[in-house]
Structure 1
Amino acid sequence: MRAMSRPVGLPVLAESDLVRQVARRLTDAIVQGRLPPGAKVAEAAVARELGISRAPVREAARLLESQGLLKASPRRGFFVRELSSQEVDELYDLRLCVERHAAVEAARRLTPARRDALRRQLDLMHEIARRDDPATIVEADYQFHRLICEAAGNGRLLRLFDGLASELRIVIGLIGRLYDDPAEIARTHEPVLAAIEAGHPERIVAHVDHHLGVARREVVRLLESLAPPKPSRILPPEA
């Protein structure tokens, strides 16, 4: 008899829009590190834990595969995607391009309501940091950056950001591991918002470059440290 897979803390779902609800639960588990890169998403175990049939779990897995979070393996099922350090570096390269422009446009279009929304999100990040909840604060981090893209007023740019963020959600969970102090994540956003409020394009770009550049370097370094060592090359004996 096969042993049952270990639960990962997924709450039971109600009977409405099951596929999207399952996708959301699995995404949360990935972002929070409960389903780490390379982990198998066992349909039967997930369905049993959520109290539903396997069909919506399979559809949710296919949806997350299309978003780049899962990878299907023939006859083996779905696995949490493993991103290489090069792939993450490329994602951050594109993210820098998107968010530089978004932040400058957000400053140009900044209204009191949008400024208040950004301030409230930053206040929320500080509040979550005081509760010492790293998984939630990195999700709040994502929402802060998305608000900047929303404030830019460009729907296509927002969809581009969401596409990049979908892949980066695997990495977002690692961001919490870059800082021993959760409040540091919130503090690193203060200069970005201050520059947007001041409305100086050069200063905005400089702060976005620094903010994302630090995360880019550290996440790539962390991924490289987690990668298995490459096998040593065995040289043929000298004649």
Structure 2
Amino acid sequence: MDTATPPAGGGGPLLTALDQNDLVNRIAQVLTDAILKGGFKPGARLTEATIARDLGVSRAPVREAARLLENRGLVVAMPRRGFFVRQFDWHDLDQIYDLRMCLERHAGALLVGSLTDEMASKLRAQVAFLHRLAEDGDGERQIEEDLKFHRMICVFAGNRRLLKVFDELTAETRFGIAMIGRLYDDPHQIARTHEPLLDALVARDAGVFAAASDYHIGTARERVVAMFSADGAPRRGDPSSE
């Protein structure tokens, strides 16, 4: 497939025209959203000319945006053929979650020594927001806000390089989850799984946070990896994914 499929019932292009400000980053974000929502399937070619036409821009910023996505692990470049949406397999996702476990354990260890009441309040509000999204049934937004909670921990930890690596992994994490669908039958369970992390931070107990973080991310890791077969296809028929 060379370009995103227009939504059912619509005759126009999937992507809409952009202004010229901060063009490359904005194109990269539009392409990222299209990939995560399934507009571009794994293995699909990102055709510069078609994307440029749909967005109302020249091909040069599209090419630069594709290179940004390559750096973020969402697309791969093939010599003389162009850019293609990356195809994940269970090995990729297992390694992504393994690195996330290491990063977030360390972020928590840094944060317990510097957590302020304001930080704790913001984290608590984020968990409450996850519960509100569960009530609303907004699964896609819940995934975004779930990852935002973890990013907040990395931000509050104060290590900019750690945060940079976390951000690089986030796109890959979102892509993996997007290909699978929801991880839990009860949407409130997503919010509840963050409560032990918050409790450990408030208690300023690095050991308890490490254990809670390993369990939290490790459980997601097991579920996500189990839903992928050895050839990289999501196991949508697996009872655990229903």
How would you bin the TM-score normalised by the shorter chain?
0.7 to 0.9
- Give the whole-Å Cα distance in 1 for the aligned partners of 2:190 and 2:44: 27
- Give the whole-Å Cα distance in 1 for the aligned partners of 2:4 and 2:157: 45
- Match for residue 74 of structure 2? 69
- Give the whole-Å Cα distance in 2 for the aligned partners of 1:44 and 1:126: 43
User: What code does the residue aligned with 1:210 have?
Assistant: Y
Is contact 1:103–1:204 with CA below 8 Å preserved after alignment?
Answer: yes
Alignment pair present for 1:15 and 2:20:
yes
What SS is found at the alignment partner of 1:124?
helix
- Give the whole-Å Cα distance in 1 for the aligned partners of 2:3 and 2:211: 51
Alignment pair present for 1:6 and 2:5:
yes
Provide, for residues 58-89 of structure 1, a one-character-per-residue CA deviation record: whole Å limited to 9, x for no partner.
21011111221111123332111112211221
- Match for residue 10 of structure 2? none
- RMSD of aligned alpha carbons: 2.4
- Give the whole-Å Cα distance in 1 for the aligned partners of 2:64 and 2:16: 18
Q: CA deviation at 1:30?
A: 2.4
- Match for residue 104 of structure 1? 109
Count of matched residue positions in the alignment of Structure 1 and Structure 2: 227
Alignment pair present for 1:115 and 2:111:
no
Provide, for residues 191-235 of structure 1, a one-character-per-residue CA deviation record: whole Å limited to 9, x for no partner.
21122112222221111011000110111111227736xxxxxxx
Q: What is the aligned-residue identity percentage?
A: 48
Alignment pair present for 1:210 and 2:215:
yes
- Match for residue 159 of structure 1? 164
Q: CA deviation at 1:100?
A: 0.8
- Match for residue 34 of structure 2? 29
Gaps of 5+ in 2: 8-13, 234-242
- Match for residue 143 of structure 2? 138
- Give the whole-Å Cα distance in 2 for the aligned partners of 1:156 and 1:92: 18
Alignment pair present for 1:194 and 2:199:
yes
Gaps of 5+ in 1: 229-239
TM-score normalized by structure 2?
A: 0.83
What SS is found at the alignment partner of 2:142?
helix
Q: CA deviation at 1:166?
A: 3.9
TM-score normalized by structure 1?
A: 0.84
Larger Rg: 1
